[in-house]
Amino acid sequence: MDTKVLVIDDEMHIVELLKFNLEISNYKVDYSYDGFDGFLKAKEVNPDLILLDWMLPNISGIEVLKKIRSDKELKNTPVIMLTAKNMENDKVEGLEIGADDYITKPFSIKELLARISSVLRRYNLNNEHEESVLFAGNLKLDLSKHEVTKNNAKIELTLKEFELLKLLIQNKGKVLSRNYLLDKIWGYEYYGETRTVDVHIRYLRKKIEGENGQEKYIETIRGVGYKID
């Protein structure tokens, strides 16, 4: 079955260019020209990956991304931001909300296809050959349900927070560097943007350890990264 890609972009020539090149690479392509319709289209077609422009009519790409990540059916769908914005803060905002990758216009079709392949491969690998349940102290990660509980009480995590916690638990006792976490969770190194890892770890800690850090799970190794014992 063909892999389904949804393109959400208001520039018709960009959509036509992407549709042509994706289809000759054996992807099935749906598309939308504005944010609100794009989200509805995503709900309708349930794509395997979304290419999402930042600047869109009706609602912005970043607002569409927020809706995707809070939607029960779509929250685990990989999203690549495709935009003319190229400032570091814009990239970090997209990544923190849950984008899986970020490519700026003008872009190379060859590079974009490689990024799509890399993101899809990472998602497929993450879903294969894994233990279905992971534990760390009173924390339980049910990978089949994509659910985290603490003392049987459910904890709501974003996709990236869940992936970070999973990776740390799968590597118990090992110190994972910020660059390693970027590479594994976001797909490649973002050249100095390791602070996005720190932001996600901070939010993750609040959710699993409490506002005052009553229970310690994640240890910071100064100058290196993080670990869970």
- 3-state SS, the chain, equals CCEEEEEECCCHHHHHHHHHHHHHCCEEEEEECCHHHHHHHHHHHCCCEEEECCCCCCCCHHHHHHHHHCCCCCCCCCEEEEECCCCHHHHHHHHHHCCCEEEECCCCHHHHHHHHHHHHHHHHHHCCCCCCEEEECCEEEECCCCEEEECCEEECCCHHHHHHHHHHHHCCCCCEEHHHHHHHHHCCCCCCCCHHHHHHHHHHHHHHHCCCCCCCCEEEECCCEEEEC
Q: In what order do the strands lie in the sheet with 218-221?
A: 176-177, 225-228, 218-221
Pairing between strand 3-8 and 49-52? parallel
For residues 5-15, average pLDDT: 95
- Has residue 85 got a pLDDT over 90? no
Residue-averaged pLDDT of the chain:
85
Of the residues 102, 126, 150, the one at which a domain ends: 126
Q: What is the pLDDT of residue 212?
A: 66
The mean pLDDT of 206-220, rounded to a whole number, is: 82
By residue range, what is the domain housing residue 142?
133-228
24 and 108 part of one domain: yes
What's the rounded Cα separation, in Å, for the pair 207 and 40? 30
Place of tokens 């814009």: 90
The whole-angstrom distance between residue 61's C-alpha and the CA centroid of its chain comes to: 14
Q: Specify whether 7 is located in the same domain as 120.
A: yes
25 and 109 inside one domain: yes
- Domain boundary among the residues 98, 126, 154 is at 126
The domain boundary residue, chosen from 104, 126, 148: 126
The whole-number average pLDDT for the span 122-147 is 75
pTM above 0.95, yes or no: no
Please give the torsion angle defined by the CA atoms of residues 34, 39, 42 and 43, in that order, rounded to the nearest 10 degrees.
Answer: -140
Predicted confidence (pLDDT) per residue in 90-105, tens digit: 667 777 778 888 888 8
pLDDT-derived band at 29 (thresholds 50, 70, 90) equals very high
Q: Higher model confidence: residue 157 or residue 1?
A: 157
Residues 6+ apart with CB under 8 A from 47: 4, 5, 6, 30, 77
Is 129 a residue whose pLDDT tops 50?
no
The domain that contains 38 carries what CATH number?
A: 3.40.50.2300
Q: Pairing mode, if any, of strands 153-155 and 139-142?
A: unpaired
Low-confidence winner among 13-22, 40-49, 60-69, 92-101 (lowest mean pLDDT): 92-101
Work out the average pLDDT over 198-220.
Answer: 85
Claim to verify: residue 107 and residue 153 sit in the same structural domain:
no
Check residue 1 and give its pLDDT: 52
pLDDT grade for 186, boundaries at 50, 70 and 90? confident
